[in-house]
Amino acid sequence: MPALPIRRRWFSWCLAGAMGLSTGAQAVVASPDVTTHDDRIMKQALDAARDRRWDDIDQAAIQNHVLAGYVEYHRLRARLSTASAAEVNDFIVRHGDSPLADWMRGAAQTRFGQLGRFDDLLAISDGEPSATIRQCYYYTALLDRDPAEASAGGEKLWHVGASQPEACDTLFSTLQQRGVLTDEDTWERMMLAWENGEDGLVTYLERGLDDSWQRAIDSFDSVRGNYAGVTRVPLDLGPDGEASGALIAAAMHGLTRADTEASLEAWRKIAPHVSLNEERRHRIEHDLAFYSMVRDVDNNQGWVDTTLPRLADADLIELRIRNAVTEGNWPNVARWSEALPPDVRAEAHWQYWLGRASEAMGDEAKARQAYQLAAQDRSFFGFAAADRLGQPYQLQMANTQVSTLQQELTGMLPVVKRTEALMRIGEEGLARSEWYTAAARDTPDQAEALADYAIRQGWFGMAIQTTIAAKQWDALPWRFPAAYRDSFIKWGEVNQVDPYLLMGIARRESAFNPQATSPVGARGLMQLMPGTADHVARNLGISAPTTSELFEPQINIRLGSTYIHSMLERYRGNRIAATAAYNAGPQRVDRWLTSAPREFDRFVESIPFRETRDYVQAVLAYRVIFESLAKQGDTQGVAMLSQAERQGNYDPTLIARN
């Protein structure tokens, strides 16, 4: 049968889902009051299933509920020890459009591996698992069925500088018995562990080497206490004389980080004589070049400039350009911009700096050409290039119109019904998992329909993540929705802060997920740390917010807008400095201003923290997008920066108060 056109495929997909033909749980349409009653019973059943209170579940009452598969998941998972591979596969097939399928496969792989049920493990697998423990069991299962694949997988798991799970023990011991993992592999892993600071693993691995390795171990012990001893490492260590390379590479790793200048001196002495594979040699020189530039080691700069073209690593050349920008060395900016790989050189970021360098060197035609290329991009440097040319910004916005029929059909889909039901019973985490699984698997047309649906439901964070999963980079109304707009306008007016700046910060911080929590404990739309929120609340004369209150948009936006207002006051209204301070803290920004280039673009490029450098660029570009979308996509009259921000000096005079 020939492939259906995209729109027709989309219609068929929606219709099949609406009619219950999906392989997942069928959608059930019920009246609102029945749904409320059914949802209450479903929530009770799900809670009971999590606790394995099976007698508390009214199975007959939930069997037709759209979320019945979640209770079935917990039942099957609880009895995986005795469940057959056929039962697991049946569940996976029936729930193939839900994350339940992958979760069940992963749980079964782990349990079957623990029980040594390797035939069953392979029967329910669809290739290499993603988690390390499951990989260990998967390749153990293949030891007798596909020895070559098991060996390749086992070697990959072995060659890491950290301890691996006990699940790998059988795999490793078998491969050692078969001679696949040799003493040389043990030595190489030992060196990786040393690089990684895993002293316990180093000791454990060393005990596995016999007396023929004593000379290599003695050399290791001498270098372990003194990295500079790398120049005295014999070049024929190990029973086969092949162990020196791993020791030298590991010692150079430590010496480069401890004393980069001395490390280059050592490398110059030994590089012509040591036998290293290309990967190790490249890694040593990459490290040397990187740390020489980051630490601004003057004596290493000549070697760096000679070596970069040979290494041809874009990240190193980009760093070299940033250093030249910070120094104001425009010939070097131009030289290294031209040395970038063509696809990287074409990016707006580097075209902008090529334009700046060409302009400074008097080549107006080349500068204009570079700016014009950069100005086609929707980014901080694309907008800065447009400012240089005196032209409006290019948004490159895609059409996000979805027909009424598409909208209606999308609302009938099983994944939509499950997501809505999960939202109703307070299971927002599971709801997001359902939605993102669908977005990642669907065709562009299907993902567009889901993003549109999420926007219309007010699921702003889910809409944004849908566009990311589907790579819908130009779907700006979905990527940058007017989420919580009234609150941003209200508190922006109260605190005299541009509401589009507030929206840009929230979009970068949380992607408009009011329940977002960072690994360090920042919470809510504007990702406030509890300590910062308490401090701001005290200054406002209000009670410190509880943890749960920080997830309430109104409270979070009020406190976040008050805090950014204080940063704007600190830096005389300068949004670049204030935004940097919101991310990295004002003390760091104050310090940067004492030695940074005075021009706005060079100041941004010189920010030493990549996270903050990217953050400032993103927030200010997002701000442009939000203002433009408020004008139906018209960028006329929209300015990323004020005249003062473009032309002011970025030095300590920018600090109004401490």
Residues annotated as catalytic (active site), given as ranges: 509
Tokens of 239: 């029973």
Phi first, then psi, for residue 394 (nearest 5°) are -100, 120
Tokens of 544: 């410190």
Count of CB atoms situated within 10 Å of the CB of 481? 23
Enclosing H/E stretch for 103: helix 99-115
Give the Cα-Cα-Cα angle 113, 116, 122 (nearest 5 degrees). 60
The answer to whether residues 644 and 600 touch, using CB atoms and an 8 Å cutoff, is no
Q: How far apart are CA 177 and CA 194, in angstroms?
A: 25
Q: Hey, CA dihedral for 589, 594, 595, 601, is it positive or negative?
A: positive
What is residue 434's three-state secondary structure?
Answer: helix
Q: How far apart are CA 517 and CA 142, in angstroms?
A: 40
Q: How far apart are CA 504 and CA 616, in angstroms?
A: 10
Measure CA 34 to chain center: 42
> Which residues, at least 6 apart from 645, have a Cβ–Cβ distance to it below 8 Å?
574, 575, 576, 600
The answer to whether residues 252 and 284 touch, using CB atoms and an 8 Å cutoff, is yes
> What does R_g of the chain's alpha carbons equal in angstroms?
30
What is residue 528's three-state secondary structure?
Answer: strand
Q: What is the DSSP string of 551-593?
A: GSHHHHHHHHHHHHHHHHHHTTT-HHHHHHHHHH-HHHHHHHH
